[in-house]
Chain A
Amino acid sequence: MNEKIYQMINQQVFPSAFCPGCGHGILMNAILRAIAELEMEMKDMLFVSGIGCAAWIPSPHFKADTLHTLHGRAIAYATGAKLYNPKLKVMIVSGDGDLSAIGGNHLIHAARRNMDMTVVCANNGIYGMTGGQVASTTPLGSRTSTTPKGNQEPPFDLCKLVEAAGGTFVARQPVVTPIPLTRTLKKAIVHKGFSFVDVLSPCPTQFGRRNAFRTPYDMLTYLKNTCVSVEKAKSTAPDEIKGKILVGEFVGGKGGEA
């Protein structure tokens, strides 16, 4: 079923740079599928990314205009391009640290402006490329190379952050459920205004090995068991939701205002 997708990539750069079992590879797969199912053309897109493993999702894998920028700055660069050529369909694909730590300021201002762009945050809760340091999204207690005894800082809820800043389509999906993920990505792409998707995408190499996940599949299983959709959460007792991760479309999807 991937025939269309193979036309959308630079095949000569595969096998990809991602580690075996990297969640970002699954996300790359889903983004391409979303664009293909929407019957959109890669030539109408502009993909902008920062620095980090997630930033490699579009660059160099996508056969399209790609802009691989500086750490944290993808959204600023995308803003310039979109304003000058509004016909471009702009998608930013970058990591959680890149978008919400060093890049946090650009994220909240683009959301405040409700700029017509889609931000796909490949969220693995760690700085993978540089050796597994703690990030602004690392869960409390998790081990990273700079929190060997367990992270003491509470993480961002990126969806609440972007919603508060003014984003008009805000959602979260894990890579383990590719069909809801693709569906949400399609809505985000089509949405007019600032859309943000927090994609839970595991890093087996840096996060998994430090936190007792032996295989990529174990990390996907953890996500499957921990994520609860917004709809399901409505009819579930509060103490059963404790410790779970809420996923779904919070703003601008089924559950929110456009």
Chain B
Amino acid sequence: MALQLKKVKSSLSPGWYFMQGDEAAAEGAIAAGCRFYAGYPITPSSEVMVHMVKRLAEVNGVFIQMEDEIGSIGALIGASWAGAKVLTATAGPGISLMTEGIGYAVITETPCVIIDVQRAGPSTGQATRPGQGDVMQVKWGAHGDNEIVALAPWSVQEMYELTIKAFNFAERFRVPAFLLADEGVGHLRETLVIHEEVEIFDRLKKRGEPPFGTEDPTGVPPMPAFGEGENLLITGSTHDERGFRKTADPGTHAKLTERLVRKVRDYKNEVIQTESYFMEDAEFGVVSFGFTARAAIQAVKTLRKEGLKVGMLRLVSIWPFADEAVAEMGRKCKAIYVPEMNRGQIAGEIRKYTSQPIIPIPKTNGEVFEPAEIVEAIRRNMI
């Protein structure tokens, strides 16, 4: 099946706009065909919700502010099964509350997009300050094995474009897809360029086909909606391909859990997206993502001017993880530096794929990186 995208007209007239990151993400959702939003206010994501109220009214969509985040993820899943492309936006504490629902979306294969505008945690933390500490949570927060998609924008343009991609992946793989933004890029105002068309993907539909199992090599079954006469049996318990609960059959549980993981892992190259800078002759490597990458690329340019052969790999997708790209960097470089606004979460993940020295550059003071800090940290940790 792969990602057969169809071109549709953009929802905004083509041109240059000056917009806030959160609002750009909302525009991306509308462009992707999102017509249902359920959410709860939380800094620094509330602007997404407020923009969606306005835009959904203009496109005949549906909006509800729910009583809490738990209600929000629930309403999202209900609406997705009613046929909608659905969105919510939140921050770390909201992801914590939604986590059980995220797991439910995983096992029921419910497409949904969740924007996490990360802030300084843990817990209430510094609510108005940026952070990047949720990267592991979106994948491992819910119990069990979760193959989800997570993309990390570094600009207002990417807040728009990666939201569209998140919708496409959610529908393609029938998984929850996250936009791992942060307060830095969420509250940033920058140019947004809108083109004539965008490419979107609609979920597969086939009448009468089982919605929870398939022999198709993609491992992604078609997805009917309520009211189509399919007598849907949706449940969070282990189920067979028609949805009947099979809570004591080893074969069914094995088949389901393996397919849920393989349907994404086997096709991870459709999702994995990285950008390389100055890597051709690099002897030292920097891996970064999100708002931090803006400072990291400046640091790399500064060090290059000083004669250091340093290159950078920007992770655009976080999950599935760019294992081959970091392994390749490990083969080329003597050391890998990882600046991030957390205590070393991505650094820890990179360790799985290379035995080269990895030097985490953590920053958790509620502020974004300055290029000079990254330059200084690399110089101090030269090997």
Contact = CB atoms under 8 A, between A and B. Distances in A.
A57 B70 CA distance: 24
A228 interface: no
Question: For the side of the interface on A, what is the size category?
Answer: 20 to 34
A33 interface: no
A256 B80 CA distance: 37
A79 B237 contact: no
A60 B73 CA distance: 23
A44 B73 CA distance: 24
A149 interface: no
B118 to A, nearest CB: 24
A13 B12 CA distance: 51
B64 A79 contact: yes
A108 B8 CA distance: 41
Interface string A72-100: 01001111111111011000000000000
A30 interface: no
Contacts of B355: none
Nearest to A46: B226
Given A76-B74, A81-B79, A84-B62, A69 B104 contact: yes
Contacts of A84: 35-36, 62, 78-79, 82-84
Interface residues of B, number: 42
Contacts of B123: none
Interface in A179-214: none
Contacts of A59: 233, 235, 245
A224 B67 CA distance: 38
A69 B226 CA distance: 15
A81 B100 contact: no
Given A46-B226, A65-B226, A81-B226, A106 B104 contact: no
B241 to A, nearest CB: 14
Contacts of B77: 69, 77, 80
Nearest to B234: A67
A84 B233 CA distance: 19
A73 B70 contact: yes
Nearest to A49: B235
Contact of B64 (A65, A66, A77, A83): A83
A60 B78 contact: no
A68 B243 CA distance: 10
A105 interface: yes
Interface in B29-84: 35-36, 38, 62, 64, 66-68, 70-84
B288 to A, nearest CB: 36
A109 B78 contact: no
Interface string B217-244: 0000000011101111111110000011
A48 interface: yes
A60 B76 contact: no
Contact of B82 (A66, A76, A80): A80
A43 interface: yes
Interface in B121-158: none
Given A85-B227, A105-B67, A48 B244 contact: no
B290 interface: no
Given A60-B245, A80-B82, A85-B82, A109 B62 contact: no
A83 B74 contact: no
A64 interface: yes
A65 B70 contact: no
A84 B35 CA distance: 9
B252 to A, nearest CB: 14
B101 interface: yes
A80 B79 contact: yes
A68 B62 contact: no
Contacts of B237: 68
Contacts of B76: 80
B308 to A, nearest CB: 52
B226 A68 contact: no
B234 A68 contact: yes
A13 B243 CA distance: 12
Interface in A104-148: 105-106, 109
Contact of B83 (A63, A76, A85): A85
A38 interface: no
B104 to A, nearest CB: 6
Interface of A: 13, 42-44, 46, 48, 59-60, 63-70, 73, 76-85, 87-88, 105-106, 109
21 contacts: A13-B244, A67-B232, A68-B237, A69-B74, A73-B70, A73-B71, A73-B74, A76-B70, A80-B36, A80-B78, A81-B78, A81-B79, A84-B79, A85-B83, A88-B226, A88-B227, A105-B68, A105-B71, A106-B71, A106-B74, A109-B66
Given A80-B64, A80-B80, A81-B226, 14 more contacts: A42-B231, A48-B78, A60-B243, A60-B244, A63-B231, A64-B231, A67-B81, A76-B70, A79-B38, A79-B75, A79-B78, A81-B78, A82-B82, A109-B66
